[in-house]
Amino acid sequence: MIQYKSTRGSQNMKNGAQAIIKGIAEDKGLYVPDTFPKLQAAIEDLLDCDYRQVAAAVLPQFLTDYTEEELAHCINSAYDAKFEAEEVVPVVKANNAWFIELYHGKTAAFKDMALSILPYLLTTAMKKEKEESKIVILTATSGDTGKAALEGFADVPNTEIIVFFPDAGVSQVQKQQMVTQEGANTHVFGITGNFDDAQTGVKKIFGNAEYAEVLAKMGCKLSSANSINIGRLVPQVAYYVWSYVQLVKQGALKAGEPMNVVVPTGNFGNILAAYYAKQMGIPVNKFICASNENKVLTDFINTGIYDISGREFHVTNSPSMDILISSNLERLLFHLSGNDGDEVKKLMESLDKNKKYEVSDKIKEGLKEFYGGFADETETKEAIGKLYKENNYLMDTHTAVAYKVYQDYRTQTGDETPTVIASTASAYKFAEAVCDAVGLPKFRNGFDAISALNAFTGVKVPKGLQNLETKKVLHTGVVDKEQLWDAVKGSLE
């Protein structure tokens, strides 16, 4: 049976259900599997499977304490008609890459892939563990996690969900998606700060024993919908297995041949899921980590030094990646260190105190599986315009960062291994920037840009973004970055 342990050395093991409920370990580390399970199904046996069946081949390997019936209920309830694409995740070739379109869920972003199933995994876990406390989902978002989590947990019995987002650091469409969210148990706050401030504030609340006591007296217990929760990460592994199967099915690969994976990422969760897929047995040659101008991950992969001291924070046209403190990197450090929790704890303490750390030679050696690159705003727009003009394929700004970095990688290495790019959001979520990239004029707001982009390209507007501007704003709170606990307590009183 797979057990979960902390990246920071605690020996207090949890089963899958317990780790999902708790969200973050008592020593502030993140839960990781004590061993990597192997995919039991042969790739050839998955060629005729739909997405749900592939997910059903992946999730039971990690969540061994769930029954087959429990996981079937979670998977079939999550990946149903709420996804507009019949295949859930289309894998589409454009130019020299295959795009894994992860944005066909209710909120038009890849976070739907995990956050459609997390509420089912969590409520099932609560029943299994006879958990009677109300679970409070506390989440920081750089734009997409918040709406996907709100959508997933709205009116789920015995839960409350509280989301913090940088008030001036998300797109107009992203903000409108969150502040119009319905549901008696939903609470949404802008903060006067950036995503790192929101994430740091949320982690401090999780790590505060006094707050936990206050919540316990209220009959509440914290959990997370961020990718710090292992129940968020594990479902993401499935779509990398799925994409490999699709490349084999399309004739781009023979089973056993490797692919490359390109992921635009700030918090490192989405690319870590690809790393987990490789540990399960999916052949991956290179993990290509794409950053925007907040290129702390690029610099780290290239030097082994993670340094945010004095680093300027850039607000870009790919705002979901405007992140300097990359939470999920901690999990990779743990795996590459040989599961050395004490070493990871020291690195995280150094990041907290000194705003930097340098990893060991052993970890640096493991980082050779990764390539780090970045694209600035101009390069991002140019990538969108060029691919649309030449291949009639429309990307959002984050996917465009990945595409540009992949072109750099090919030029530098000559590597022509078949490559998948994680396409993480609909272009309509960042319509103003995409309009600019394809040569349309600037618009008064994001909603006018959606209409114009639709008229220009004919690409369908996702249901969740249609008529968004007419929805009633239900959440108007904006709090100081130091006052997150007050907002949490006030939401629950």
Q: Classify strands 91-94 and 97-101 as parallel, antiparallel or unpaired.
A: antiparallel
Per the CB < 8 A criterion, the answer to whether 236 and 113 are in contact is: yes
Q: pLDDT digits over 105-119, tens only?
A: 999 999 999 999 999
Identify the helix (H) or strand (E) that includes residue 164: strand 159-166
The rounded distance, in Å, linking the Cα atoms of 478 and 344 is 35
Per CATH, the number for 91-108+231-450 is 3.40.50.1100
**For 63, left (φ over 0), alpha (ψ -120 to 50), or beta?**
beta
Extract the tokens encoding 467: 């008529």
pLDDT single digits (tens) 81-98: 999 999 999 999 999 999
pTM, two decimals, is: 0.95
Place of tokens 């994680």: 422
Question: Which pair of tokens denotes residue 381?
Answer: 């727009």
Q: Which amino acid is at 122?
A: L
Q: Calculate the CA 273 to chain-centre distance.
A: 9
DSSP SS3 for 287: strand
Residue 51: closest CA among 96, 117, 122, 6: 117
Tell me, what's the pLDDT at 137?
97
Q: What's the pLDDT score for residue 444?
A: 82
The span from the CA of 329 to the CA of 114, in Å, is 18
DSSP code of 48? T
Q: Where are the domains of the chain?
A: 91-108+231-450
| Average pLDDT of the chain to the nearest whole number | 97
| pLDDT tens across the length of the chain (493 residues) | 999 999 999 999 999 999 999 999 999 999 999 999 999 999 999 999 999 999 999 999 999 999 999 999 999 999 999 999 999 999 999 999 999 999 999 999 999 999 999 999 999 999 999 999 999 999 999 989 999 999 999 999 999 999 999 999 999 999 999 999 999 999 999 999 999 999 999 999 999 999 999 999 999 999 999 889 999 999 999 999 999 999 999 999 999 999 999 999 999 999 999 999 999 999 999 999 999 999 999 999 999 999 999 999 999 999 999 999 999 999 999 999 999 999 999 999 999 999 999 999 999 999 999 999 999 999 999 999 999 999 999 999 999 999 999 999 999 999 999 999 999 999 999 999 999 999 999 888 899 999 999 999 999 999 999 999 999 999 999 999 999 999 999 999 9
Closest to 466 in 3D by CA, of 450, 449, 455: 450
Q: How many CB atoms lie within 10 A of CB 293?
A: 21
Classify the C-alpha dihedral 480-481-483-489 as positive or negative: positive
CA distance to 45, 79, 248, 286, 467, per residue, from 245 (Å) = 10, 18, 5, 17, 36
Q: Which residue has the tokens 């290239």?
A: 302
Beta-bridge partners for 478: 190
